[in-house]
Homo-oligomer: A and B are copies of this chain.
């Protein structure tokens, strides 16, 4: 099954209806996985090996504005800078937009503004693709459900399926080959005291793209076989922790899940190590502060940066130990 077939399943006749508006605009938040998406069971549709669970970052994410034109190429402007048509980012995006053109000559202008660092492990492709799918929906007037938007966003980038929603989000693995049961859904709990701290330890673009790292790990990571069972128990613990507002279990499970994901990468060949010395030192600092009684945990995605997890009442203490931290209230939006 191809991406275009999934688009047809979702849009049906709407696929052939001209845009209802002159432009479509939408925002989608970044999301931080507390239980990671790590491994695809199918490449074309981005179907994951396991379910995953994230928290969206409120007002931190990407805004997309789409308009239609008929010049030779899509026009992509990212954070005020025009992106060359031959750049990998343009090609990936235009390839994705091919799924939605009314006719082969229809072209889009895409203006994306992000307030999270690109390619520094802050899931910018997730909020990018989610905002574009939502902007397409606004432009064409499809009026899709969030579940349908989530499936379309997944075709652009797996974790984009989660950035359709705010708050806690579970992305269901599903069982079907066409992925129609593989979408994200919000967990309705609001945890007003929860805080996320973004720690940029290196703003350099990471060396190895996460999709390459994921694929290598699934293909030859000697410990990857133990990952699905780890995810399954972590999902159970996280959902319980959310329901019970049990911060310690939430933090511990998220940290342990992230370390296990990085552990599967270390077991691949060639080995994959996203940590830099600052990552190690910051982990050790978190562990030392926790020993001293501060309820503080971290998670790490496919990059060297860390995201801290803590509660509102500890914001001051966390900031005093990590003056460079950017504190996000995920339920502010």
Contacts and interface: CB of A to CB of B under 8 A. Distances in A.
Interface string A246-282: 0000001001100110111011011101011100110
A267 B256 contact: yes
A271 B287 CA distance: 9
A198 interface: no
A49 to B, nearest CB: 14
B263 A267 contact: yes
A215 B194 CA distance: 34
A225 B222 contact: no
- So how many copies of this chain end up in the complex? 2
A283 B273 contact: yes
Interface in A279-302: 280-281, 283-284, 287
Most buried by B among A255, A263, A266, A283: A263
A227 interface: yes
A327 interface: no
A264 B227 CA distance: 11
Most buried by B among A223, A226, A269, A277: A223
A291 to B, nearest CB: 9
A229 interface: yes
A183 interface: no
Contact of A256 (B222, B229, B252, B287): B222
A270 to B, nearest CB: 7
Interface residues of A, number: 31
Nearest to A220: B256
Contacts of A262: 263, 266
Contacts of A204: none
Nearest to A270: B287
Contacts of A273: 280, 283-284
Contacts of A280: 273, 275-277, 280
Interface in A191-232: 222-227, 229-230
A280 B266 CA distance: 12
A227 B273 CA distance: 19
Given A227-B223, A260-B222, A263-B264, A255 B281 contact: no
Contacts of A227: 223
Contacts of A230: 222-223, 267
Question: Can you list the 5 inter-chain pairs with the closest CB atoms, starting with the nearest?
Answer: A277-B277, A263-B263, A226-B226, A222-B230, A263-B266
Given A259-B271, A277-B280, 19 more contacts: A222-B230, A222-B233, A222-B256, A223-B223, A223-B226, A223-B227, A223-B230, A223-B264, A224-B226, A225-B225, A225-B229, A255-B271, A259-B266, A262-B263, A262-B266, A266-B266, A273-B283, A273-B284, A277-B281
